[in-house]
Structure 1
Amino acid sequence: MELQTAFQLVNSIILTKTGRSLREPEVAFFEGTWLGLTYEQIAESSEYSTNYLMRDVEPRFWRLLSDAMGEPASKTNIRVLLEQVEQSNSQSSNSQSSNSQSSKALLHEEGLRRVGTW
């Protein structure tokens, strides 16, 4: 999964559950984590200190995401969790599409019965 897709998914989950989008420090932390950067590397590429990222942003971010997802989220399992969410969303979309097509077919058959051409 690409960074942009992962970010959009995480932001959507947080927004849905909390009513707010990710804040700038959380964005910097998530993107750095996703890319496999160290705290020092994230700090160097952002305006946040290593200490702030480690002691404040990280624990709050994982707690927020875990609460929003309903299961523990961490640096070690985030990719698996997001893949599961994406698969679930995909299956749900396919199911809705299939149900919609079935409904349309049934409505078409019913319409043909009514006009006597079926």
Structure 2
Amino acid sequence: MMDMQKILSLADEMVFEKTGKHLDDLQVSILKGVWENQRYAKIAEEYRCTEGHVKDVSYELWQVLSEVFGEMVRKSNLKAVFERNQVGNFAAKDIVHIGNVHLCGEQQASEKSEPKTINLHKEGKNLAIQKLLELGLSAEQIAEILGLSVEEIKADFSF
């Protein structure tokens, strides 16, 4: 099970990166409540506002998270999206963004810098390779992006 504090921290950082605004208290309550399978009415009761207001704020939050993850995020699939993207497994400062692919590494990627070797955790490396394969990149391109040898890529995935 994913750690709620890590989820909230990463969600906040990703939303801030996209919008320039941090999650507010209601958005945090919505994420926690939805994660715990609460209904909007219960979240509204705990936050002391109307259910309609919670629904409105939720709609906006799902839109932003959909942009962040590059896929539709809704109340019904929130956990699946976070788990599919293994969001809770990495510290926010260790995320490297390459298009819609989020990689776990010890260094930040810079658009202007030379390609750097990224020390990837095994599951992060495999997720990154899988995502890049889905985007149609070759083993050579993936190796260059991730700072790995082509043999490492080919050993983990059949080409």
Fold shared by both chains (TM-score > 0.5): yes
Show CA shifts across 1:27-81 (max 9, x none).
Answer: 2211111111111211121122112112x11211111111222221112222222
Structure-1 separation of matches of 2:13 and 2:3: 15
Amino acid at match of 1:71: E
**Is 1:15 aligned to 2:16, yes or no?**
yes
Structure-2 separation of matches of 1:85 and 1:18: 22
Identity %: 24
Structure-1 separation of matches of 2:78 and 2:71: 11
**CA spacing shift, 1:6–1:60, aligned 2, 3 Å:** same
**Is 1:50 aligned to 2:51, yes or no?**
yes
**Aligned pairs (5 A) from 1:1-118:** 1-54=2-55, 56-83=56-83, 84-86=85-87, 89=95, 92-93=104-105, 96-97=118-119
Gaps of 5+ in 2: 96-101, 107-116, 121-145, 148-159
The higher-RCO structure (CA 8 Å, 6+ apart) is: 1
TM-score (norm 2): 0.53
Indicate conservation of the 8 Å contact 1:13/1:69, yes or no.
no
Structure-1 separation of matches of 2:25 and 2:11: 14
TM-score (norm 1): 0.69
Q: Which residue of structure 2 aligns with residue 110 of structure 1?
A: none
Q: SS of the residue aligned with 1:73?
A: coil
Amino acid at match of 2:36: L
**CA spacing shift, 1:37–1:71, aligned 2, 3 Å:** same
Structure with greater proportional helix content: 1
Provide the alpha-carbon RMSD of the alignment: 2.7
Q: Quick check: which has more Rg, 1 or 2?
A: 1
Q: SS of the residue aligned with 2:7?
A: helix
Query: How far has the Cα of 1:85 moved from its partner?
Result: 4.3
Q: SS of the residue aligned with 2:76?
A: coil
Query: How far has the Cα of 1:2 moved from its partner?
Result: 2.1
Equivalenced residue count is 99
